[in-house]
Amino acid sequence: MKRRTFLTTATLASAGLSTLLISSCVDTKKNEKQEATDDSVEAFELEEETISNLREKLASGKYSSEQLVQMYLDRIEAIDKKGPKLNSIIELNPDGLSIAKALDSDMKAGRIRGILHGIPILIKDNIDTADKMQTTAGSLAMVGNIASKDAFIVKKLREAGAVIIGKTNLSEWANFRSTQSSSGWSSRGGQTKNPYILDHSPCGSSAGSGVAVSANLCAAAVGTETDGSIVCPASVNGVVGIKPTVGLVSRSGIIPISKTQDTAGPMARTVSDAAILLSALAAVDPEDAVTLESKGKAQKDYTTFLDVNALKGKRIGIEKKPQGNNKIINEVLDGAIKLLKKQGAVIIEIDYLDKINAFGQAEFEVLQYEFKDGLNNYLAKSNAKVKTLKEVIDYNNTNEDKAMPYFRQETLESSNAKQGLNDPKYLDALAKSFEGSKKVLNAVFKEHQLDAICGITMGPACSIDTIYGDRWGYSLTTPAAASGYPHITVPCGQAYDLPVGLSFFGTPYMEGELIGLGYAYEQASKKRLKPVLKASFL
């Protein structure tokens, strides 16, 4: 879960259309002479390579999977562990090279496992792997937790032939620990940095996944989201992120927050790569009942929706109220709207955000109840030394100097104080947030006959502040998150030298259509810019 305004104000109303000062996030001064932080960083042979290109080069023999893995490992050493020290990787897979070597042997023998055969992938450190890597959600309390079996999506990745080369850092406990957290910081992994301007936030909670993809440390990565945790780091790190419909991708074997809102999803440099990765992830899992709803609705190959003309004739809804009063961000949105129209889209002004934002407190209530229930169930079956949320809290209190050097754990504590999922307060909050959000979106889609709703995903990244926490401005993550609906974000420009994403979201299992819209916009705009690794904005 990303840094959310309701964690400090208990309401989303101020986050939706407020005029929160963007200056709290970035300095409006610009130093035209700002150099990259480390001139010694060498050009990278695999820079901006796509999955499709890598597959072709593997098939032709230009590269072996073992060579690809080694090149990405060298890149990680050069700029993630040394040089700029992006700190996006929390742990490397000690068996990565041997796995790649075995896949090379399979390829030579004509045994192609799937669409990701030999492709190096990173996954978030809240996803179980039954190998030598830990699963900790970034928490020191979870150190030593090596899963007994792969998460279902890890199983699907391995079946598709992916080489999981490591795990990415995240906002600890998926940013459900404190009201003053710093996105991308965890007690186990430290602070991840934004690769565009290093003293700025990578957002979260899938911070490491977003940064690693943007900085070319892997071919693509997997993140998870409760509210904004894929699309926010994708937006502020200049990459593509897809938050699928809840039910399209399994959650079993993933450290949970919310059974209502949690999902895993792809993060990649192109819409095409994100579609390939989603094709590998989407499947019915008997251990996650909600995935049964996707039967007959999921697609085997989401790349079939990659159409440069997908925007033509589509009715796209955009909130009629301005997204704050920042001139630069509004200019980015205006430019995106003009391009959408040029590509044949019909723009419809709609009024829906105030209604969604009114459910903010109810959403937070739901997440607290479900976090306690889900985490206790996960820990009870895990190999972690802590077996309940209460034991996590106690561990942090006992090891305060290392576990909580900057901010506290009031969200863990408030969640632990909740009753069970039969509590009338929980059921009432669930009806307001989940059902209420769906009702609002369904009504606006029907009334205006929309194909999608669009808008700026997030304002540009705020400065890293481990003491007082994040200070975000505009956010468009909640409508799709609270309802469980699909959401894609695509790079659409920069504000203050920091990336800004454009969101498209729709009704359940519209991933294919949203991929088409995102792809058409991406190909017409070409707004993805490589990170420059500036040390600071000034």
Enzyme catalytic residues? 124, 205, 229
Rounded Cα gap, residues 274 and 266, in angstroms:
5
Rounded Cα gap, residues 237 and 217, in angstroms:
13
Going from the C-alpha of 5 to that of each of 13, 54, 181, the distances in angstroms are 9, 40, 11
Q: Which two tokens stand for residue 121?
A: 């992938």
Q: At what angle do helices 271-281 and 511-525 cross, to 10 degrees?
A: 160
Residue 37, phi then psi, degrees to nearest 5: -65, -30
Of the candidates 224, 250, 245, the one whose C-alpha atom is nearest the C-alpha of residue 155 is 250
Rounded Cα gap, residues 118 and 265, in angstroms:
20
Rounded Cα gap, residues 192 and 181, in angstroms:
13
Q: Helix (H, G, I), strand (E, B), or coil: what is residue 15?
A: helix
Rounded Cα gap, residues 125 and 173, in angstroms:
10
Dihedral angle computed from the Cα positions of residues 459, 464, 466 and 472, in that order, rounded to the nearest 10 degrees: -10
Q: Which two tokens stand for residue 139?
A: 């928490």
Rounded Cα gap, residues 483 and 448, in angstroms:
19
- Residue spans of beta strands (DSSP E) within 383-495: 452-456, 487-495
CB of 6 closer than 8 Å to CB of 12: yes
* Torsional sign, CA 306, 311, 317, 320: positive
Instruction: Bin 87: left if φ > 0, else alpha if -120 < ψ < 50, else beta.
Output: left
Q: Which amino acid is at 167?
A: K
β-bridge mates for residue 191, sequence order: 185
Going from the C-alpha of 221 to that of each of 270, 322, 482, the distances in angstroms are 12, 33, 24
CA 361 to chain centre: 23
Give me the residue label for tokens 């309390």.
141
Rounded Cα gap, residues 170 and 471, in angstroms:
18
Q: Which amino acid is at 488?
A: I
